[in-house]
């Protein structure tokens, strides 16, 4: 497994394509096609990702067996590193890539003088919540955020303190 910073438009295009594939497969049963379409367009399109990068987000591609199989996006934010996006293709889940990527993310947090990693996760994304708990995260808040167009994100905020 290799993790590569997405610092150019070619890599951002790869992330947007991965988002299309992964989100449609994974999130459609949880939040529905209309909200997936809306969120992909507004938060994970090439244009949206480029705008996020201009605001300080860092995106990374996860490579395994010579192909890109996932990605994550982080934002250094005060004492925390916000893990904003973290997605792996269906065929690659359960192979330890998430755990290995989390080590990288925690090291990135430490390099940015962050004392912890925070994230939000959909309340009905049960498998992912369980995985984050196994990785040492705790649920700290229940939140509903209006994201426009009649859609909301019904999430838990989770945190992991780094030692």
Q: pLDDT band for 163, please (50, 70, 90 cuts).
A: confident
3-state class of 148 per DSSP?
A: strand
- Detail the DSSP E strand segments found in 20-137: 58-64, 67-77, 80-88, 116-122
CB 121 within 8 A of CB 129: yes
Q: Examine the pLDDT at 47 and tell me if it is beyond 90.
A: yes
Domains of the chain plus CATH, in order, are 2-161 (3.40.630.30)
Compute the Cα dihedral for 146, 45, 122, 38 and give only its sign: positive
- The answer to whether residue 72 scores a pLDDT higher than 90 is yes
3-state secondary structure at position 93? coil
SS3 state at 136: coil
């Amino acid at each position: 497994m290799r993790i590569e910073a997405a610092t150019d438009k070619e890599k951002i295009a790869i992330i947007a394509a991965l988002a299309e594939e992964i989100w449609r497969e994974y999130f459609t049963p949880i939040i529905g096609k209309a909200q997936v379409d809306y969120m992909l367009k507004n938060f994970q399109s090439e244009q949206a990702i480029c705008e996020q990068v201009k605001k300080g987000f860092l995106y990374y591609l996860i490579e395994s067996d010579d192909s890109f199989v996932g990605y994550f996006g982080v934002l250094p934010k005060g004492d925390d590193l916000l893990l904003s996006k973290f997605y792996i293709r269906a065929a690659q889940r359960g192979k330890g890539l998430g755990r290995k990527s989390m080590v990288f993310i925690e090291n990135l947090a430490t390099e940015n003088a962050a004392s912890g990693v925070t994230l939000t996760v959909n309340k009905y994304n049960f498998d992912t919540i369980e995985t984050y708990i196994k990785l040492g995260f705790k649920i700290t808040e229940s939140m509903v955020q209006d994201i426009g167009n009649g859609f909301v994100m019904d999430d838990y905020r989770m945190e992991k303190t780094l030692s």
